[in-house]
Chain A
Amino acid sequence: MKWRKLGRIFDPAQHGLPGGCIGFAQAPQALVFSDFVRIYFSTRTLDGSSGKYLSHVVFADMSKDLGRVLRVAEKPVIALGDLGCFDEHGIFPMNVVRHDEAIYGYTCGWSRRVSVSVETAIGLAISRDEGLTFERIGAGPVLGASLHEPCLVGDAFVRIVDGVFHMWYIFGTGWKRSTPETPPDRVYKIGHAVSGDGVRWRKEEGRQIVPDRLGPDECQALPSVISIDGCSHMLFCYREAFDFRTNAARAYRIGHARSADGTTWTRDDDALRLEGSPGEWDSDMQCYPHVFQCEGRVYLLYNGNAFGRFGFGAAILER
């Protein structure tokens, strides 16, 4: 897979973000319309004086060659959850898929904990106005922690194949400390679930579907799957479990796996070769990939340094 980088296509500093958002355009997710591409992403507000953030889902509509920003949403497409709910403190990311004349939005809801920073789960919200607003189907999640996926279920990517909903997502295996004095960090892996209706899901319950490259503490996030010439390709990001925020050598990179049958995945990061550009917005980190097709071409959206604080960029697959 040879990718030609198109550079940063959305810089939040260059556009008015809605509702007092102060930056970040994380985890871009595309929905193709007839004459534009709607790209959902998560941006942030400051939560009072706590120094913590709240993540909100908004969108930018772009020209189909991803060259121009046509419009930015005037408000988040979904409100945060109520007091005590799984998505009270943020929705990041949200994956969208068309189904039955509606758009299903699979949210990753965040709620803060005391002994660890956060817990997440996957919710479902549905749009019947072409993706401008989404209504959650319930106050709770459709996919959360279970016996062998004990925490941090999130980062859904859903596609409907032959009438079956497939979800690739991540689940936490636990929290670890690099030293007894440091706050706990999380480790998570990519899993898979299926559903007949997109609401009731059956997990593979703890099966890690993509092998580790960095060892058992490798963190794998935000899978995105596309079929090219009869082969399934998964792009995701991965990093070390500790010291990954500012140490470029341990930060997120884009990983790749391929599968002929959609079940067994062979890891092949070297086939991807998406390098950061020195001195640029993606020099130290590449994360949160999203692949999609538009006008016969395959595009990759991704975030760069600081987990997307400075926006997202794109690359195009050259066959």
Chain B
Amino acid sequence: MFRWRKLGKVFTPQEVKGRPWLNEFAQAPATLVFDDFVRVYFSCRPPADANGQYVSHSAYVDLDRADLFNIRAVADRPILALGDTGAFDEFGTYPVSVIRHAGRVHAYYAGWTRCESVPFNTAIGYAISDDGGTTFTKAGAGPVLGYSPDEPFVLSGPKIRRFQGRFYLWYIAGRKWKIVDGRPEPVYKIRMASSADGVEWERLGRDVIASRIEEDEAQASPDVFYAHGKYHMLFCYRRSAGFRSRENGYRIGYASSHDLTEWVRDDTKAGIDVSDAGWDAQMLSYPHVFELDGRMYLAYLGDQVGRFGFGLAIADGTIG
């Protein structure tokens, strides 16, 4: 068992000036540790358009390594351009996950397109940075992981990791569009793929985390790390209806594995829950665990899925 001690909200997008594309939201934090700062990638939005629709960009904030609540820099522009007309990522790049490998920074992200019968679809894209993670170039105009017979839509939430000389990607795949209060809402489950080169992916081809609260539970943000002899996953999950409320909204779940493919879920070990009051009193989502100077940290989103930024917690006690 371990407990996450909340440190508070560390980044508030509304406080950033001079960047109209970074108006609100700081979703899906993902870290890259540098010598004297921690770069946290996140996804944000400009104001909605006349039809109330958003696009998502991805950017970063650099936190002082000695004091993570000291913001040293914010990206001057999005790290990725939106796709061209008709491209899979024309309307958003959210979320993004990064890893250093062979002298470059590799990013996997979900690209957003808009559909007629359902509000959107997503597929997973791939981009590479040769300047240490400041700007990224897409590996192609299309997705690196697209739809397949049993992963028919809404491929999103990629988390790139490397274990034992191989790339692993945990992500989500849509299961169905469920009509809730007259509008289609996606149900999605956590999936996994692995790769030798980061381009050709071999899918596991099944859900890796059992559903707990209902068959149509939606699962997201499968964040995997290794500690004390086994693999741990934090993720978030919610009900299929009424999930914009405290009762049915996102919470953080936990699972562990010895072999990366067989996972035992035990949400009682997540070690964090909503607060009684404050920025994370309604929901918790998009967990991301990182190690820094011998301590384990958790970055996560609070109310309205990160509309007002992300916060940090630190592990007390041992992991797992």
Contact = CB atoms under 8 A, between A and B. Distances in A.
Co-complex (A, B): yes
Given A112-B115, A113-B115, A147-B140, A139 B84 contact: no
Interface in B61-101: 84-88, 90-91
A177 B86 CA distance: 11
A119 B88 CA distance: 10
Contact of B86 (A136, A149, A151): A151
Contacts of A140: 147-153
Interface string B167-178: 000000010110
Interface string A178-202: 0000001010000000000001000
Interface in B154-205: 154, 174, 176-177, 179, 184, 186, 199
A205 B176 CA distance: 29
Contacts of B88: 145, 150-151
B86 A85 contact: no
A318 interface: no
Interface of A: 82-86, 88-89, 111-116, 119, 121, 123-124, 136-142, 144-151, 172, 174-175, 177, 184, 186, 199, 206
A148 B141 contact: yes
B181 to A, nearest CB: 15
By DSSP majority rule, is chain A's interface helix, strand, loop, or mixed?
loop
A116 B87 CA distance: 9
A149 B143 CA distance: 9
What class of interface size applies to chain B in its complex with A? 35 or more
Contacts of A138: 148-150, 152
Contacts of A84: 115, 117-118, 121, 152-154, 174, 176-177, 184, 186
9 contacts: A83-B179, A84-B121, A111-B115, A136-B149, A140-B151, A140-B153, A145-B143, A146-B146, A174-B85
Contacts of A115: 85-86, 90-91, 113-114
A115 to B, nearest CB: 6
Contact of B114 (A114, A123, A177, A206): A114
Given A83-B184, A84-B174, A140-B152, A148 B121 contact: no
B125 to A, nearest CB: 8
Contacts of B148: 138, 140-142, 144
B213 to A, nearest CB: 23
B142 A113 contact: no
Contacts of A199: 149
B123 interface: yes
Nearest to A171: B142
A112 B174 contact: no
B133 to A, nearest CB: 21
B254 to A, nearest CB: 29
A111 B115 CA distance: 8
A146 B153 contact: no
A137 B149 contact: yes
